[in-house]
Structure 1
Amino acid sequence: MESVSYLTGFNNEHETEALPGALPVGQFNPQKVAYGLYAEQFSSTAFTAPRAHNRRTWLYRIRPSAVQGDYQSFQQASQLVRTGPITEQAPVPNMLRWSPLPMPSDPTDFVDGLVTLAANGDAATQTGLGVHCYLANQSMSERFFYNADGELLVVPQTGALRLHTECGILDIDAGDIAVIPRGMKFRVVLHGPEARGYLCENYGACFELPERGPVGANGYANDRDFQYPVAAYEDREGAFELICKYGGNFFRAAIGHSPLDVVAWTGNSAPYKYDLARFNVINTVSFDHPDPSIFTVLTSPSDTAGVANCDFVIFPPRWMVADNTFRPPWYHRNIMSEFMGLIKGVYDAKEKGFEPGGASLHNCMSPHGPEAEVFEKASNATLAPQRYENTLAFMFESRYAFTPTRFAMTTSARQQDYVACWNSLKKHFRP
């Protein structure tokens, strides 16, 4: 496929045009737009949101979005997608873990291959998030999708994707992430024969960069490393379908043209990508280690300062140098709930059973930490500077406890003996 260019800078007011002069100068909504285009504003925050948090983009398109068929209920879309609040299954305090879900054998695109493992909050009140896996072996060509319930954070685990969006094209692979605003239309093209990954459906406030506090002006994820697509429009006519997720249900509308027909756009509500290898890890150079919040890439804030609707946290390659310190994550119980996934390699607290493509869930106040073998190994290791290589895990951390779906609790991928990884921890007490 052809290479793609990008604009840089997180949440910047970008402007881009695929045809010269397509963007109006000095105003957003002239009486007549160049090339016979239509002006349309796309808002993913309220009109009166404070300027620092306000997100909107002006789209200059071949046809306005209102040109489409009527929506009808669409039951053929993924039967395993659920939306918070989940009522089919009671919340559980159990520590849960899953092996990677198997790839489908039938032709399955990104939409049909969505499977929900857990959710919290309530999409209708714009709180919480849903956690899904996607499993695909077929590209989307005549089908387009948008999600009215939440912003989408795409975390590929295997198989590269090309995201064709209203604002342009994003290429992502394992080690990248992409964020698609609530309501943004797109289609997913596979670069290879199949793809698998994770999807955070954020019902709450838009993801933003966390504050750095005493760290200062640099570090963590830097604004300049976020990439936005340049305008790239599709002028296609035919018998297409537009799939919408709205209120936890799927709907379908016939549409006679590609809705990705935006010739130019300007604003700050647009899809973006980020290479996780660019994250500047901050850690201790003395003893112990700080809380895992030091690995936060993006945060969706809640109405309580410092308590996130969702933090997206990564555990990337890094040096560990702490003196006289038990270096894996300590045993802990949190007010926050943690859903983890593994993109590649081995996670330092779970050397067995936590596989790339798998997942774990440790809910509010459920105890967790290193398995028995890891504890013994780390407690007796000779401490020297150590490089953690070829590893990349992540966490969706939320103030709201997750409820797993019925599928998540009954699938053969659930590791029923997960809790046994702590059973062989020995008593070392010597009064």
Structure 2
Amino acid sequence: MIRPDELQYLNGFGNEFETEAKEGALPIGQFNPQKVAFGLYAEQFSTTAFTMARDKNRRTWFYRIRPSAAQSDYRPFPQGLMRSGPITEVPSPPNLLRWDPLPMPEEPTDFVSSLVTLAANGSVGVQGVGVHVYAANQSMQNRYFYNADGELLIVPQQGALLLHTESGILHIAPGEICVIPRGIKFRVDLPDGTARGYIAENYGAPMILPERGPVGSNGFANERDFQAPVAAYEDIDGDFELVCKFNGGMFVCDLDHSPLDVVAWVGTSYPYKYDLSRFNTMNTVSFDHPDPSIFTVLTSQTDTEGTANLDFVIFPPRWMVAENTFRPPWYHRNLMSEFMGLIEGVYDAKEHGFMPGGASLHNCMTPHGPEAVVFEQASNADLKPQRYEDTMAFMFESRFIFEPTEFALQSTTRQREYHACYSNLKNYFREQK
């Protein structure tokens, strides 16, 4: 087995990597020889169409102990609180929505069983995003999972995850993220015993780094800081189950061996991780609060230029130096819809009620901005250079309206008086005219 801390740097999205856990397992000069070394099977794994342009084509050749076809028929798996877009079970209100953190379960619950959908948009098989949270207290035992509906962007908030994947092993902790390509099989262990976090399920084009535009050749997230696993395999026989999310439903089949039996691989589709502290934040050094798009880490673009199916945006520790400026985010109404989460600390526009592990949803054209207390403080602050420390908020932003699930609207974690944070906004005009 390969150590889980042994990783390779991407140095460019879509780069072709090759890695082998047993020397000589990887064919040289071709992908599909008549006989693969050590009696392995060759299997191609594609997460884009075969005819996608070369620089956007995502496919990997696996050299594995058994092909993936060696499994039983699927049967329904308990759906629980997992949902897919479009959400039709309840009408979607244009209200401001906010939730407290999901509590840790009292019964033994692994990563897959803990998944809860708060909202989704678009449609599986076309474009859109599912937004889920997880709160687990048990490692996955004899169980594996893959998602046929979209790639998974996992954002831990509490507790580390040890992800055993077909491509190798990734360890991610709060402050890091990982992306699991559509269709990759994996198992989640909990090194800290419990774990909680957020997931964006991207039905659209695979996420890439955003263009820098006038910023130039450096800044934001740099390719060199993303890491992929090296090959690590499990050659284990036994009774296992493979859970699959497919066309919005949950299914399970039986296996007599571990599906993580890839001894070597070469290709352009693989899981990867990123340390958010390496994001090179751009900000103003003169005046006014910049658009949040300048904090975009990853994006899934649409065929409408400049409009994202999913943007992953962060609000990390940074300096604020804007002169004669209201420094928190301005009041605004957006075409894009915003789901926000908080990993740690305090978000500068919401000092009360928005807790680590919690979430908020501000949909298309729903007005929002700083709460009344923050407006008062920021309007009268002594504007010295200020360092925002010990904070990390993020946003899943989408062109499509996020439709909350019935659970999200009826949950005891929903803050039903969230709108009241704006109730004390004063009429200063009347006082000064």
TM-score normalised over the length of structure 1: 0.98
Provide the rounded CA distance (Å) in 2 between the counterparts of 1:290 and 1:14. 37
Q: Secondary structure at the match of 1:87?
A: coil
Provide the rounded CA distance (Å) in 2 between the counterparts of 1:123 and 1:196. 25
Provide the rounded CA distance (Å) in 2 between the counterparts of 1:410 and 1:373. 28
2:60, 2:266 within 8 Å by CA — same for their partners in 1? yes
Residue correspondences, number? 428
User: What is the aligned partner in structure 2 of residue 245 from structure 1?
Assistant: 245
Provide the rounded CA distance (Å) in 2 between the counterparts of 1:305 and 1:43. 25
User: What is the aligned partner in structure 2 of residue 385 from structure 1?
Assistant: 385
CA deviation map 1:139-173 (0-9, x unaligned):
01300000001100000000001000000000000
User: What is the aligned partner in structure 1 of residue 329 from structure 2?
Assistant: 329
User: What is the aligned partner in structure 2 of residue 272 from structure 1?
Assistant: 272
CA deviation map 1:76-126 (0-9, x unaligned):
xx51011000000111110100000111000000000000000000003x2
Identity of aligned residues (%): 70
User: What is the aligned partner in structure 2 of residue 287 from structure 1?
Assistant: 287
Query: Aligned runs of 1:245-394 on 2, under 5 Å?
Result: 245-394=245-394
> Are the structure 2 counterparts of residues 252 and 41 from structure 1 closer, same or farther at C-alpha, using a change threshold of 3 Å?
same
Question: Which deviates more from structure 2 when the two are superposed, residues 177-186 or residues 11-20?
Answer: 11-20
Q: Give the residue type in structure 1 aligned to 2:133.
A: C
Q: Compute the displacement of 1:289 (Å).
A: 2.3
Question: Could you list the runs of 5+ residues in structure 1 that have no partner in the other structure?
Answer: none
Provide the rounded CA distance (Å) in 2 between the counterparts of 1:194 and 1:406. 26
- 2:55 corresponds to 1:52: yes
Q: Give the residue type in structure 2 aligned to 1:27.
A: Q
Q: Give the residue type in structure 2 aligned to 1:87.
A: T
User: What is the aligned partner in structure 2 of residue 89 from structure 1?
Assistant: 90
Q: Secondary structure at the match of 1:235?
A: coil
Q: Secondary structure at the match of 2:329?
A: coil
Q: Secondary structure at the match of 2:163?
A: strand
User: What is the aligned partner in structure 1 of residue 200 from structure 2?
Assistant: 200
Provide the rounded CA distance (Å) in 1 between the counterparts of 2:167 and 2:141. 17
2:310, 2:397 within 8 Å by CA — same for their partners in 1? yes
Q: Give the residue type in structure 1 aligned to 2:43.
A: E
Q: Give the residue type in structure 1 aligned to 2:265.
A: W
Question: Could you list the runs of 5+ residues in structure 2 that have no partner in the other structure?
Answer: none
Q: Secondary structure at the match of 1:211?
A: coil
User: What is the aligned partner in structure 2 of residue 18 from structure 1?
Assistant: 21
Q: Compute the displacement of 1:26 (Å).
A: 0.9
Q: Give the residue type in structure 2 aligned to 1:271.
A: P
2:97, 2:415 within 8 Å by CA — same for their partners in 1? yes
CA deviation map 1:155-212 (0-9, x unaligned):
0000001000000000000000010000000000001121000011101110000001
Q: Compute the displacement of 1:74 (Å).
A: 1.6
Which runs of 4 or more aligned residues in structure 1 lie more than 3 Å from their structure 2 counterparts after TM superposition?
A: none
Q: Give the residue type in structure 2 aligned to 1:17.
A: E
Q: Compute the displacement of 1:43 (Å).
A: 0.3
Q: Give the residue type in structure 2 aligned to 1:343.
A: I
2:86, 2:122 within 8 Å by CA — same for their partners in 1? yes
Provide the rounded CA distance (Å) in 2 between the counterparts of 1:74 and 1:213. 46
Query: Aligned runs of 1:88-107 on 2, under 5 Å?
Result: 88-107=89-108
Provide the rounded CA distance (Å) in 2 between the counterparts of 1:356 and 1:332. 23
User: What is the aligned partner in structure 2 of residue 109 from structure 1?
Assistant: 110
- 2:187 corresponds to 1:187: yes
Q: Compute the displacement of 1:3 (Å).
A: 4.6
CA deviation map 1:215-247 (0-9, x unaligned):
111110000000000000000000000000101
Q: Compute the displacement of 1:11 (Å).
A: 2.8
Q: Give the residue type in structure 1 aligned to 2:399.
A: R
Q: Give the residue type in structure 2 aligned to 1:84.
A: G
Q: Secondary structure at the match of 2:56?
A: coil
Q: Give the residue type in structure 2 aligned to 1:55.
A: R
User: What is the aligned partner in structure 2 of residue 74 from structure 1?
Assistant: 77
Q: Secondary structure at the match of 1:123?
A: coil
Provide the rounded CA distance (Å) in 2 between the counterparts of 1:287 and 1:415. 34
Provide the rounded CA distance (Å) in 2 between the counterparts of 1:329 and 1:52. 37
Q: Secondary structure at the match of 1:52?
A: helix
User: What is the aligned partner in structure 2 of residue 142 from structure 1?
Assistant: 142
Provide the rounded CA distance (Å) in 2 between the counterparts of 1:302 and 1:90. 26
**Cα root mean square deviation, aligned:** 0.9
2:14, 2:55 within 8 Å by CA — same for their partners in 1? no
Q: Compute the displacement of 1:2 (Å).
A: 5.2
Provide the rounded CA distance (Å) in 2 between the counterparts of 1:290 and 1:418. 26
User: What is the aligned partner in structure 1 of residue 124 from structure 2?
Assistant: 123
Q: Secondary structure at the match of 1:214?
A: helix
